[in-house]
Amino acid sequence: MAEAETPKKVGVLRALGSLLPFLRRRPGWVALSVGLLLTNIAIELTLPQILGRAITALGSPGTIEFSLTKAVGILLTLVVIRTGVGMILGPIRNSTVQRTLGDVRAAVYDALQRQSFSWHDNARTGELISRASTDIGRLQEFFFVCLLFAIDVVVGVVGTLVLIFATNALLGWLALAAMVPTVSAMAWFAVRLQPRWRRVHDRHAAMSTVIQENIAGVRVVKAFAREQAELGKFQDRKREFLVELTGAVNYWAARVPFAQFLFGLGVPLVLWAGGRQVIAGDLALGDLAKVVFYLLALGNRIGVIGQITTIVQNAGSSAQRVHEILHAPRTLPDGTRPWPSDADPTIRLEGVTFRYPREASLSFDPPPGEPAKPPAPKFEPTRSVALDQVSFEVPAGQTVALVGPTAAGKSTVLALIPRFYDPTQGRVLLGGVDVRQFRVTELRREVGIVFQETFLFSASIADNIAFGRPEATREDVVRVARAARADGFISELAQGYDTVVGERGISLSGGQRQRLAIARALLGNPRIILLDDATSAVDSRTEREIREAVQELCQGRTTLLVAQRLASVRRADWVVVLQEGRVVEQGTPEELLRRRGAFVELFRTQLQEEVS
């Protein structure tokens, strides 16, 4: 079998670039933010012009037409406008960024929902949660860069340089000369900073893993009285994270002033060169002052360049991780055929061989100091193929029981019918049509499924039952709950159907959960039922209730039933015995009992119990 391969990461810049289209979804907001920002930059660039003019005029009174009152008035007006613009710009920019971030979140959520089963099989839940929360959070700063810092720096720096050149070419060249070593030094520092941010993120992930595992495994931690040790482990991870984080932040914080110092050397230079021109009478005093004001403003912008570098480096690796989810290839091509209303629900498997795909869904960063090697997959298969040349039929309206030892491939067979996976070889047919031809959503709506493990959402029991049909009325819900023999225990709960069940429905027993799942499937009134019955060890009353529920579910439908209990198998029209992915026996229950083969072997204990 091919080694699990992790997908290649896209470059930081490409990943960040792929996020830009999200800004295009809010054109009005973005235009407003950018427009207001440009207004402010324009005001900022105008202020030194007015000051320069005033200084020139005051230095040699009477030579040019000048009104001090007017100059002060204009200055004051501009400052007031700038404050006003700033006050509305902040909230508008914030909303734009938050809305855009919301769009990214929705897109990631959508991509996660659309991914195939095998993609999810090969991705870790913790990893996905961290990408969908922490990483998207880090992108917030990136959108601020796009809407604020980048525009501010580019327009601000270019605009300032142009205005300095327009005032005096020599001083323009000097300003440019001061920029070059400064920006080079910043770039040099930034390159050295990048691996530090990488380590910060790795340490953060290590710390989060401890938190996540301790929450998920809280029972084990408590049962073995390991609270102190686990707390110690967390403290260690937290310390390591903080050391890296302060290291990275301080590295940068200590170097920005150095870069600003380099640039600061330009000011005396300009003063010297410009001062000589003023003395020689070639340059107005106000123009020299103007250039100095511009230089000081440029110096502040250099700090902003530093901030941009930090943010882009920080958001870059997060953008890569989000990009991978958004652009993961869809492995399940959709069909085009609508589900016919008079469809024949016969299920047929023809020579189906299936191997679970093993490619890793996501790339990953190795833990600090360790060489890159793919993480072990979530599932280690016990053999190379899960199903091997499986063929059988479930005729319309009949019930077929699928039996076999654990890991035989029973749940896998069920998963192939609504196309959770596609067979590696062979075909699955519904009414003679390959399931790959149907539209997936329609196909899945026609097939009712009761999974081996029932997942309940943290919502009321009624909402859980109506999950697939949210429009169902309370009467419908109660009706199916009655049919599924769940009404009894639900009515005993204080809040009845409105009782909220826990994250995983932990307050309900396995048998109760299963009956809720049966009710959920019944509500859709599907013509095909797939039932993965895992509960083999329940008391006789529950056993009877579940049996009745199952009977109700199968009534008049085409049913494929994974069965653990002899009583359910006996009522089936046909039995298929699976072993290690192969069909080893099939026939009516009576035939198989008489044959004394694999089937009898499988149910030996239950048969003996019946006899005694």
- Determine if 418 is a binding residue for ligand ATP (CB under 6 A): no
Nearer to ligand ATP, 339 or 356 (CB): 356
- Determine if 183 is a binding residue for ligand ATP (CB under 6 A): no
409 binds, among Mg ion, ligand ATP, none (CB under 5 to 8 A by kind): ligand ATP
Stretch that binds ligand ATP, among 202-210, 279-287, 335-343, 379-387 (CB under 6 A): 379-387
What are the tokens at 314? 């920080």
∠ CA 523-535-551, nearest 5°, is 45
Q: Which of 11, 27, 7 is nearest to 103 (CA)?
A: 27
- Determine if 423 is a binding residue for ligand ATP (CB under 6 A): no
Strand partners, 387: 354
Residue from the set 102, 381, 488, 502 that interacts with ligand ATP by CB under 6 A: 381
Query: What is the Cα–Cα distance from 545 to 133, expressed in whole angstroms?
Result: 43
Query: What is the Cα–Cα distance from 336 to 433, expressed in whole angstroms?
Result: 12
382 binds, among ligand ATP, Mg ion, none (CB under 5 to 8 A by kind): ligand ATP
Backbone angles phi, psi at 417, to 5 degrees: -75, -50
How many residues line the site for ligand ATP (CB under 6 A)? 16
Nearer to Mg ion, 121 or 476 (CB): 121
406 binds, among ligand ATP, Mg ion, none (CB under 5 to 8 A by kind): ligand ATP
Report which residue type is found at 206: A
Query: What is the Cα–Cα distance from 424 to 407, expressed in whole angstroms?
Result: 18
Nearer to ligand ATP, 289 or 386 (CB): 386
Please enumerate in sequence order all residues whose Cβ is within 8 A of that of 604, keeping only pairs 6 or more positions apart, or say none. Answer: none
- Chain residues in the site for Mg ion (CB under 5 A): 411, 452
- Determine if 536 is a binding residue for ligand ATP (CB under 6 A): no
Stretch that binds ligand ATP, among 58-66, 154-162, 304-312, 399-407 (CB under 6 A): 399-407
Please enumerate in sequence order all residues whose Cβ is within 8 A of that of 32, keeping only pairs 6 or more positions apart, or say none. Answer: 92, 96
Nearer to ligand ATP, 114 or 383 (CB): 383
**DSSP 3-state assignment of 101?**
helix
Nearer to ligand ATP, 251 or 379 (CB): 379
Subset of 346-365 contacting ligand ATP (CB under 6 A)? 356
Q: How far is the CB of 412 from ligand ATP (least distance, A)?
A: 3
Q: Residue of minimal CB distance from Mg ion?
A: 411
Radius of gyration of the chain (CA): 35
| 3-state per-residue secondary structure call for 137-165 | HHHHHHHHHHHHHHHHHHHHHHHHHHHHH
Q: Give the contact letters, 441-460, x = binds to ligand ATP (CB under 6 A), - = no.
A: -----------x--------
- Determine if 493 is a binding residue for ligand ATP (CB under 6 A): no
Tell me if 413 sits within 8 A of 586, measured CB to CB.
no
CB neighbours of residue 148 within 10 Å: 20
408 binds, among Mg ion, ligand ATP, none (CB under 5 to 8 A by kind): ligand ATP
The beta strand positions in 247-324, using DSSP E, are none
Nearer to ligand ATP, 275 or 374 (CB): 374
Query: What is the Cα–Cα distance from 567 to 549, expressed in whole angstroms?
Result: 13
Q: How far is the CB of 308 from Mg ion (least distance, A)?
A: 53
For binding to ligand ATP (CB under 6 A), which residues are involved?
A: 121, 356, 379, 381-383, 386, 404, 406-412, 452
